[in-house]
Amino acid sequence: MSRSPVPVSTPLPHALAGRTIVLAGGSSGIGLAAGLLLRAVGARVIVVARDEMRLAAAAAAIRAAAPGPDDGVLTRVADAGDEEAMRLALAPIDSIDHVLVTAGTLVMGPLAQMDRKQGAVVVDSRLWAAYTAARVTESRLPAGGSLTFLSGDFIQRPQPGSALAAAGLGAIEALTRGLAVELAPQRIRVNTVRAGGTDTPLTRSFLGHGTDLDSEAADSAIVAAGTATPLGRLAGSQEVAAAALFLMANPYVTGSVLVVDGGQTLG
Ligand SMILES: NC(=O)c1ccc[n+]([C@@H]2O[C@H](COP(=O)([O-])OP(=O)(O)OC[C@H]3O[C@@H](n4cnc5c(N)ncnc54)[C@H](OP(=O)(O)O)[C@@H]3O)[C@@H](O)[C@H]2O)c1
């Protein structure tokens, strides 16, 4: 097989200026934070999620984050795990340089409660979102392009009730290594950010027990959850998103799991 040359470019995020990045799961949390950072470095983003109103709000926030053309932020309503929907959603996009998949959710519970149906929510949806993004975009990604996925520190630091969630996250890291090897001849890179506890709407609703996400109760739950960590707080969503930008921008990183957990897995 003839192999294309290894592309060389600056590994700094400003190298993403003018690039097109698909954010599957970009209407909230870490994906939205990536959109804000990418807008600030002059990239074009295609934000994909299921809820149309949340997508519109996210697009407005990303446009407002930094000057740039309105069509530098596009939205697509699709379930990231639905290959047909994703192919339709991305069909008009001529060039895609990088893809970040943050679509996924967290459901926890003891073995006796977590049945196959729950597995479809917590394992299948996450795995198929990543795999589908790879299948749908692979032929359009250039040499030096990348796929970046999200996993979490439950893999290394499980808690009672997290077994199925950890299995889904582990599947993402295994997929990362497998696809990195498979796509390396095309010079497409595949990486994962393994995040520790991060202050996002997902975490707030999980810890805040369904209260208003911006309420004092939710703020207090976030602060309390961070106190036991080495750095004394949870991550901000942009701190995790910045790691994804690094993985996109550095053309010599593939098959890597970049841990951004504030030392939470140290012991
Ligand atoms: N927050 C943490 O502490 C933490 C730690 C480790 C790992 N993670 C993982 O990191 C990822 C992002 O977390 P987050 O906290 O940023 O979550 P979040 O705030 O809930 O955002 C999730 C985003 O994904 C979208 N989404 C979910 N399922 C989707 C699907 N099937 N198709 C398309 N879009 C979908 C959501 O929009 P719609 O619902 O409208 O589709 C939303 O935009 C998740 O996979 C999470 O498990 C989070």
Give domain limits for the chain.
13-197+234-260
What is the tens place of the pLDDT at every residue in 117-152?
A: 998 889 998 999 999 999 999 999 999 999 999 999
**Sorting pLDDT into bands at 50, 70 and 90, what band is 154?**
very high
Give the pLDDT confidence score for residue 2 in this predicted structure: 58
For the domain spanning 13-197+234-260, the CATH number is 3.40.50.720
Average pLDDT over residues 82-94: 96
- What is the β-pairing status of strands 257-260 and 189-195? parallel
What is the tens place of the pLDDT at every residue in 207-228?
A: 876 668 888 889 999 999 999 8
Does residue 179 sit in helix, strand or coil? helix
Q: What is the chain's mean pLDDT, rounded?
A: 94
Give the pLDDT confidence score for residue 1 in this predicted structure: 54
**Pocket-forming residues, ligand 1, beta carbon under 6 Å:** 24-25, 27-31, 48-51, 54, 79-81, 102-106, 125-126, 129, 150, 152, 195, 197-198, 200-203
Q: Does residue 33 register a pLDDT over 70? A: yes
Q: How far apart are CA 27 and CA 36, in angstroms?
A: 11
Average pLDDT over residues 236-264: 97
Q: Does residue 266 register a pLDDT over 90? A: no
Counting other chains too, the contacts that 180-187 makes at CB distance below 8 Å and 24 or more residues apart are 180/254, 180/255, 181/255, 183/134, 183/138, 183/147, 184/254, 185/1, 185/3, 186/4, 186/138, 186/141, 186/143, 187/3, 187/4, 187/5, 187/6, 187/7, 187/143, 187/144, 187/145
Gap from CA of 13 to ligand 1 centroid (Å): 23
